[in-house]
């Protein structure tokens, strides 16, 4: 699409005289960092999912987690392919926008919003449960509700002020968390694991649990995998999406699956299923008033792990503090996710413009934080019913995942250009590589959603009311206020004038070896430093036609990484965040335009060839292509003359 936005050629600013600092730890997210960040969110759910599922599935809890894990593996593959194809925040909503239309995209986004609301509520609700090691009443109502509300209010206020998370601390805690869970598994297998108890005494097929409860437990167990959207939201932070995103998602899926397969075996050895009165139960899934550990299942496991004396006391304090900290961070991740998706929805005119307006002082989306991360989350938390929260999450998550699977299937039917990553397994029929993982995932998540709708009336009516409210609001807003078709994708306009500092939020700078890219980046950093804007430095690796698009070219890769490192170092001089991105493509110009479209870039800053190199065209072929096809403004920075 040709852009009618004005272009500009400006003189390069003078170079700074001081030497660029050497880069220390890499600031972009590679596979390990993506894995640790995602696991910090996904792995936090063990602290409440274990008790929630055990209360329903009893002795079949390990089998339920295996089945839900297989569905999650298919979902992870779908998100890996979709995110690599469209490396932008939004997850299933983004996939649906490209595969179907804006109306379906809104439905997916609104279901995601429900997931974030419930994730915030349930994570905050369990923070005081694990802190009950210091004060027992925090384990029960109303103190756990009060504690959860305090956590939510504090984090919403913190995010409105705009204090950033310590990313390094989050990664460190995620590693410690995984190590702790792994240690509990090892100690449990050494001290208390009993195969006879787990595989014989605990299992009562069709009785405890009933087949109805067994089927219901599967979608509820999917709450164990909250946070898969995290990797999608971090896609723009990944340096090499086709390589890093699939690896990190597979690592997360493998690590979470390993914990959820082994930890329940140990827990059900420590707290086995017993016949009580007219039924069966495990203290792992019973509430505190029945001397159970549904509100703090991992602490219950520690108490019954065979430890004694000071070792037991120290272990309980350590696990309690760690769990509360991880859940606190997971709550904050939900708050951030809710604000991000709200801003994205308002950007695509799915919600009113006011939801993307930033606070005049703090420059944060305060209204979306208050309404969705605050009011809505507290509203679902107030009843203090953890089973209801689990059911409601399953409703929203299964619907969102099903739309994601359907979108990837639909995208495979298009005769499009090569994509950087294609998940497996596939089967080729009619000239199309049908994604078996997405087909299996759509069947699994769709069936799980129907189970929740049929068997859980509270979640059914609350979830359907949420979806209906969203669809009605969307239709009325688009028709009577925005005057837009329901299915057309329309981005909110870039505000020019006094609000330009607020709206110039995304700058794309293509970089390559040579001074012209440095001049362009130097100018972009000056622009960003004035407007608190984030810059994306894009290195395009041109792949010859005789090679596959995901081919590794060691020398060219190394050169591209050096250029990106230099871009980051220039950003450091100005105190500007520079996201480094490596893209493999056939055409540099086309790759730049497509990246600008995916990011919703508001201005592209490019370097012009040196004037001492005469050309038949004013600019290079790449710059000419971008000028003609860019979806946004383009600024070309003329490099100064260099001595030969």
Q: Residue ranges of the alpha helices (H) in 271-385?
A: 297-303, 309-347, 366-368, 377-381
End-to-end CA distance of the chain: 38
Question: What is the per-residue pLDDT for 233?
Answer: 62
200-225, pLDDT tens digit by residue? 889 988 888 999 999 999 988 888 77
Same domain, 511 and 462: no
Please indicate, yes or no, if residue 511 is contained in any of the structural domains.
Answer: yes
Beta bridge partners, 93, equal none
Tell me if 479 is assigned to some domain: no
**What integer pLDDT is reported at residue 497 of this predicted model?**
41
pLDDT at 29: 62
Residue 271, token pair as written in the block: 């707290």
Q: Is the per-residue pLDDT at 571 higher than 70?
A: yes
Element (H, E) at 637: strand 633-638
If asked whether residues 313 and 453 sit together in one domain, one would say yes
What is the per-residue pLDDT for 314?
Answer: 94
Q: Residues 98-112: what's their mean pLDDT?
A: 93
Beta bridge partners of 583: 540
> Residue 189: pLDDT above 50?
yes
Kindly state whether residues 461 and 500 are assigned to the same domain: no
Q: How many angstroms separate the CA atoms of 380 and 118, rounded?
A: 7
Of 170-184, 294-308, 511-525, highest mean pLDDT: 294-308
What are 303-331's pLDDT values in tens digits? 998 888 899 999 999 999 999 988 988 88
- Tell whether 485 is covered by a domain: no
Say yes or no to pLDDT of 15 above 60.
no
Confidence band (pLDDT; 50, 70, 90) for 385?
A: confident
CA gap 130, 241 in Å, rounded = 37
Total count of domains within the chain = 2
Task: Give me the pLDDT at residue 334, please.
Answer: 84
How far is Cα of residue 287 from the mean position of the Cα atoms in its chain? 31
Structure tokens at 159: 């995010």
Mind spelling out the 3-state secondary structure of 406-433? Answer: HHHHHHHCCCCCCCCCCCCCEEEECCEE
Mean pLDDT of all residues belonging to the chain: 82
In terms of pLDDT, which residue wins out, 228 or 122?
122
Does residue 219 sit in the same domain as residue 106?
yes
Which of 8 and 522 is assigned the larger pLDDT?
A: 522
Rg (CA), the chain: 26
What pLDDT is attached to residue 493? 63
User: Is 11's pLDDT higher than 60?
Assistant: no
Strand partners, 633: 603
Spatial contact of 245 and 78, defined as CB atoms under 8 Å apart: no
DSSP state of 544: P
* Buried-exposed string 590-600: b where 16+ CB fall within 10 A, e elsewhere: bbbbbbbbbbb
CB atoms within 10 A of CB 502: 15
**Does 228 lie in the same domain as 373?**
yes
Q: Please determine, for residue 282, whether its predicted confidence score (pLDDT) is greater than 50.
A: yes
Using pLDDT thresholds of 50, 70 and 90, give the confidence band for residue 472.
very high
Please check whether residues 437 and 509 belong to one and the same domain. Answer: no
Listed in sequence order, the residues at least 6 apart from 461 whose beta carbon sits closer than 8 Å to its beta carbon are none
Q: What is the largest CA-CA distance in the chain?
A: 92
Q: How confident is the model at residue 265 (pLDDT cuts 50, 70, 90)?
A: very high
In a domain, residue 266? The reply is yes
Alpha carbon distance 34, 40 (integer Å): 10
Element (H, E) at 475: helix 457-476
- Region 516-541: mean pLDDT is 77
Contact 55/48 with Cβ under 8 angstroms?
A: no
Q: Per the domain annotation, does 20 fall within a domain?
A: no
Q: Which domain holds residue 552?
A: 496-638
CA–CA distance, 77 with 246 (Å, rounded to integer) = 8
- Per-residue confidence (pLDDT) for residue 619, from 0 to 100: 64
Q: Cα–Cα distance between 280 and 191 in angstroms, integer?
A: 25
Q: Any idea what the CATH number is for the domain that residue 313 is in?
A: 1.20.1740.10
Going by their DSSP bridges, the two strands 578-585 and 534-542 should be labelled as: parallel
**Whether pLDDT at 110 is above 50:** yes
Q: What is the CATH number of the domain that holds 535?
A: 3.40.50.620
Between 623 and 87, the more confident residue is: 623
pLDDT interval class at 105 (50, 70, 90) = very high
pLDDT score recorded for residue 581: 84
229 has pLDDT over 50: yes
Q: Are residues 527 and 436 in the same domain?
A: no
Q: Do residues 509 and 520 make contact, with C-beta atoms less than 8 angstroms apart?
A: yes
- C-beta separation of 180 from 39 below 8 A: no
Q: Which residues pair with 538 in a beta bridge?
A: 510, 581
DSSP code of 283? G
What is the DSSP pairing of strand 426-429 with strand 432-435?
Answer: antiparallel
Best CA proximity match to 154, nearest among 341, 343, 377: 377
Partnered with residue 7 across adjacent β-strands are: 634
The residues, any chain, with a CB within 8 Å of residue 118's CB and separated by 6 or more, are 377, 380, 389, 392, 393, 396
pLDDT of residue 501: 40
Mean pLDDT score, 21-40 = 57
pLDDT over threshold 90, residue 407: yes
Is 256 among the domain residues? yes
Residues 575 and 430 in one domain: no
Q: Is the pLDDT of residue 578 over 90?
A: no
- Name the band, by pLDDT with cuts 50, 70 and 90, for residue 530: low
DSSP letter at 29 equals B
- Count Cβ neighbours within 10 Å for each residue of 5-44 and write b for 16 or more, e otherwise: eeeeeeebeeeeeeeeeeeeeebbbbbebbbbbbbbbbbb
Decide if 612 contacts 642 (C-beta within 8 A): yes
Residue 187 has pLDDT above 90, yes or no: yes
In a domain? residue 481: no
Query: What is the arithmetic mean of pLDDT over 26-41?
Result: 66
Residue 39, SS3 per DSSP? helix
Whether the CA torsion 558, 559, 560, 561 is positive or negative: it is positive
Indicate whether 520 and 415 sit together in one domain: no
**235 lies in the same domain as 325:** yes
Percent of the chain scoring above 90 in pLDDT? 34
Q: Which residues contact 444 (CB under 8 A, 6 or more apart)?
A: 70, 71, 74
Tokens matching residue 19: 């030497």
Does residue 106 form part of some domain?
Answer: yes
Residue 636: which H helix or E strand, with range?
A: strand 633-638
- My answer on whether 439 and 562 are in the same domain is no
C-alpha span between 597 and 331 (Å, rounded)? 31
Beta-strand ranges (E) seen in 548-612 are 578-585, 603-608
Contact (Cβ atoms closer than 8 angstroms) between residue 38 and residue 230: yes
Residue 435 has pLDDT above 90, yes or no: yes
Same domain, 206 and 330: yes
């Amino acid at each position: 699409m040709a852009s009618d936005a004005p272009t500009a050629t400006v003189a390069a600013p003078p170079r700074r005289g001081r030497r660029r600092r050497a880069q220390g730890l890499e600031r972009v997210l590679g596979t390990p960092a993506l894995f640790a960040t995602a696991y910090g969110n996904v792995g936090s759910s063990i602290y409440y999912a274990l008790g929630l599922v055990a209360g329903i599935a009893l002795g079949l809890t390990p089998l339920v987690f295996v089945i839900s894990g297989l569905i999650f593996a298919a979902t992870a593959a779908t998100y890996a392919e979709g995110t690599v194809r469209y490396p932008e925040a939004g997850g299933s909503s983004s996939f649906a926008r490209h595969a179907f239309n804006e109306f379906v995209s809104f439905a997916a986004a609104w279901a995601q919003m429900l997931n974030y609301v419930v994730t915030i509520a349930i994570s905050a609700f369990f923070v005081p449960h694990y802190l009950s090691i210091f004060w027992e009443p925090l384990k029960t109502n109303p103190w756990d509700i009060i504690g959860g509300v305090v956590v939510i209010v504090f984090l919403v206020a913190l995010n409105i002020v705009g204090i950033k998370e310590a990313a390094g601390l989050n990664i460190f805690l995620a590693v410690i968390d995984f190590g702790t869970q792994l240690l509990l598994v090892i100690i449990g297998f050494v001290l208390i694991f009993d195969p006879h108890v787990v595989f014989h005494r605990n299992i009562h097929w069709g009785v405890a649990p009933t087949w109805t409860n067994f089927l219901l437990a599967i979608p509820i167990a999917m709450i164990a995998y909250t946070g898969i959207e995290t990797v999608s939201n971090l896609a723009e932070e990944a340096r090499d999406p086709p390589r890093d995103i699939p690896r990190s998602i597979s690592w997360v899926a493998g690590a979470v699956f390993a914990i959820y397969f082994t930890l329940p075996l140990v827990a059900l050895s420590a707290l086995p299923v017993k016949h009580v009165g007219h039924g069966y139960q495990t203290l792992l899934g019973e509430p505190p008033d029945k001397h159970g550990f549904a509100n703090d299942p991992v602490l219950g496991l520690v108490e019954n792990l065979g430890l004694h004396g000071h070792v037991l006391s120290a272990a309980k304090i350590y696990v309690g503090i760690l769990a509360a900290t991880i859940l606190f961070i997971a709550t904050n991740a939900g708050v951030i996710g809710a604000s991000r998706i709200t801003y994205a929805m308002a950007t695509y005119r799915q919600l009113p413009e006011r939801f993307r307006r930033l606070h005049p002082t703090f420059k944060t989306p305060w209204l979306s934080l208050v309404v969705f991360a605050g009011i809505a989350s507290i509203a679902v938390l107030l009843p203090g019913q953890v089973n209801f929260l689990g059911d409601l999450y399953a409703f929203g998550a299964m619907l969102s995942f099903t739309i994601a699977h359907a979108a990837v299937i639909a995208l495979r039917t298009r005769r499009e250009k090569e994509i950087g990553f294609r998940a497996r397994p596939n089967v080729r029929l009619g000239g199309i590589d049908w994604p078996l993982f997405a087909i299996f995932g759509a069947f699994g998540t769709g069936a799980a959603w129907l189970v929740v709708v049929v068997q859980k009336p509270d979640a059914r009516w609350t979830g359907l009311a949420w979806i209906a409210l969203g669809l009605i609001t969307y239709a009325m807003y688009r028709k009577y206020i925005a005057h837009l078709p329901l299915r057309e994708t329309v981005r909110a306009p870039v505000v020019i004038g006094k609000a330009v500092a607020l709206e110039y939020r995304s700058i794309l700078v293509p970089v390559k070896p040579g001074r012209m890219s440095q001049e362009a980046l130097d100018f972009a950093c000056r622009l960003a430093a004035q407007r608190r804007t984030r810059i994306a430095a894009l290195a395009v690796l041109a792949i010859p036609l005789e090679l596959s698009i995901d081919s590794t070219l060691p020398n060219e890769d190394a050169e591209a990484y050096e250029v990106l490192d230099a871009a980051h170092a220039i950003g450091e001089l100005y105190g500007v965040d520079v996201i480094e991105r490596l893209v493999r493509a056939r055409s540099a110009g086309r790759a730049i335009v497509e990246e600008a479209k995916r990011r919703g870039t508001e201005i592209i800053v490019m370097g012009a060839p040196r004037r001492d190199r005469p050309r038949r065209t004013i600019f290079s072929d790449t710059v000419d292509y971008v000028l003609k096809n860019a979806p946004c403004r383009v600024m070309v920075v003329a490099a100064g003359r260099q001595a030969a």
